Structure 1
Amino acid sequence: MLLSMQGLNQFYGESHTLWDLDLEVPEGRCTCIMGRNGVGKTTLLQCIMGLLPVASGRIAYRGQDLLRLSAERRAELGIGYVPQGRQIFPLLTVEENLRIGLGARPDGRRRIPEEIFALFPVLEQMLGRRGGDLSGGQQQQLAIGRALAIDPKLLILDEPTEGIQPNIVHEIGDIIRRLNREMGLTVVLVEQKLPFARRVADRFCILDRGRAVANGPMEGLDEGLVREYLTV
């Protein structure tokens, strides 16, 4: 198992946000974390990345305990992260944004991988443009490209379709499928759009009030689960 969590608990002040959460992410698969707003999806990803403290439990990546490691060290192990809202550096150029990801590469490479431009040709065309001048869809491509610059073995994406025009949503779905199915990259994503999730992911985990209430192969996500936990 590439990534596994057991008995995860997390608090925001007095609020208990994750409750004894268990989750396993098989290598080479695309797992979608699902659930209504406010159930702990982003909190879970931030705990994996070391951006939020964990009260108790275990997170292991390739058998190694992540909770002892800083966020920077987790990136160096090969975990790429695309946060909600993209969080690119708006005043830096596209090239400078991409180069920031190179600092976490264990091989010391300092050249932007050509594979990123093959996946996102628009980024190569806009290398000298400031990140803040890009459209929302282009910024999302830049955020994914920055995460890929570290040569990850696990790519974590938080709401990659949020606020993006439909044609770019479809393109990003194609990219995620290609990274996962052709290039063997393990993917974990949080996604609210059910058709997108069904198209790109082969496994799901539903959270409800901080607890994992259902998980398994995507074909097991039936209408009963959708009605109970996903419809607004």
Structure 2
Amino acid sequence: MLTVKGLNQFYGQSHTLWDLELNVEEGKCTCLMGRNGVGKTTLLQCVMGLLATQSGQIEYLGQDIAGLSAEKRAPLGIGYVPQGRQIFPLLTVEENLRIGLPVRGDKSKNVPDFIYELFPVLKEMLHRRGGDLSGGQQQQLAIGRALVINPKLLILDEPTEGIQPNVVAEIGDIIRRLNQEIGLTVLLVEQKLPFARKVADRFCILDRGRQVAAGEMTELNDALVKEYLTV
């Protein structure tokens, strides 16, 4: 579904992504892994068009989208939950969710009911401001907002960061449900190894802006963990 080939990206004079390769198979949950500062978030921002790339291809459903603006990528069916959630704190939960409606292909004016089924707390707090929600509730809101556009690919950047363990478990269950029951393809950045093993089918490890290992999650062995993931 999503293929990155030979991607290079720079911050000023700093070369951050080096001929990077990534393959996200349709219907699978792929976890992008690596220590802090290796280029995981940078890669996601390049995929979403939020950062310019120097060279390389980003193919989504067979189309090279590297030259498209960020505004033209979401309508193709790519939902994005950035690191830190980035909800609108002064808007209500409902207003945050409705922001994604204009992107939908069917031009629906209503938030899909299944989002409230996935996240009952959002329905309970529909008229509360986003900034008044707990961290876990804000993360659920951010995921719900991404799902409003009816994506084919859902990209999540560290969805468990700073969230209490019980909500982490709920988010893991929801990701698996979306992936397995609905068939939504997921690209996930995650630092917590047990969570990654629970929800992901495949992994890709980055180190210093390069892919150094990839495969089925069952192939993520202790040697790879020790060399590239242990802090």
Is the pair's TM-score, using the shorter chain for normalization, greater than 0.5? Answer: yes
Q: C-alpha displacement at 1:69, in angstroms?
A: 1.3
Which secondary structure state, in structure 2, belongs to the residue aligned with residue 103 of structure 1? helix
> Is 1:160 aligned with 2:182?
no
Structure 1 partner of 2:30: 31
Structure 2 partner of 1:51: 50
Which secondary structure state, in structure 2, belongs to the residue aligned with residue 140 of structure 1? helix
Which secondary structure state, in structure 1, belongs to the residue aligned with residue 103 of structure 2? coil
C-alpha separation between the residues in 2 aligned to 1:200 and 1:176? 7
Structure 2 partner of 1:125: 124
Structure 2 partner of 1:40: 39
C-alpha separation between the residues in 1 aligned to 2:102 and 2:188? 24
Which secondary structure state, in structure 2, belongs to the residue aligned with residue 219 of structure 1? helix
Q: C-alpha displacement at 1:23, in angstroms?
A: 0.9
Residue correspondence of structure 1 range 1-232 to structure 2 within 5 A: 2-232=1-231
C-alpha separation between the residues in 1 aligned to 2:106 and 2:67? 23
Deviations 1:87-128 (A, max 9, x none): 000000000000001121111111000010010000001110
Give structure 2 stretches of 5+ with no counterpart: none
C-alpha separation between the residues in 2 aligned to 1:121 and 1:216? 35
C-alpha separation between the residues in 2 aligned to 1:226 and 1:57? 28
Which secondary structure state, in structure 2, belongs to the residue aligned with residue 68 of structure 1? coil
Percent of aligned positions with the same letter in both sequences? Answer: 77
Contact 1:72 1:104 in 2 (8 A): no
User: Normalised by the size of structure 2, how large is the TM-score?
Assistant: 0.99
Q: What residue identity is the alignment partner of 1:185?
A: L
C-alpha separation between the residues in 1 aligned to 2:181 and 2:152? 13
Q: C-alpha displacement at 1:61, in angstroms?
A: 0.3
Contact 1:154 1:187 in 2 (8 A): yes
Contact 1:88 1:142 in 2 (8 A): yes
Give structure 1 stretches of 5+ with no counterpart: none
C-alpha separation between the residues in 2 aligned to 1:158 and 1:66? 20
Which secondary structure state, in structure 2, belongs to the residue aligned with residue 92 of structure 1? coil
Contact 1:59 1:66 in 2 (8 A): yes
C-alpha separation between the residues in 1 aligned to 2:184 and 2:217? 18
Q: What residue identity is the alignment partner of 2:69?
A: S
Q: C-alpha displacement at 1:229, in angstroms?
A: 0.1
Q: What residue identity is the alignment partner of 2:56?
A: G
Runs of 4+ in 1 over 6 A off after TM superposition: none
Q: What residue identity is the alignment partner of 1:14?
A: Q
Contact 1:89 1:131 in 2 (8 A): yes
Q: What residue identity is the alignment partner of 1:6?
A: K
Q: What residue identity is the alignment partner of 2:47?
A: I
Contact 1:35 1:229 in 2 (8 A): yes
For these two proteins, the number of residue pairs brought into alignment is 231
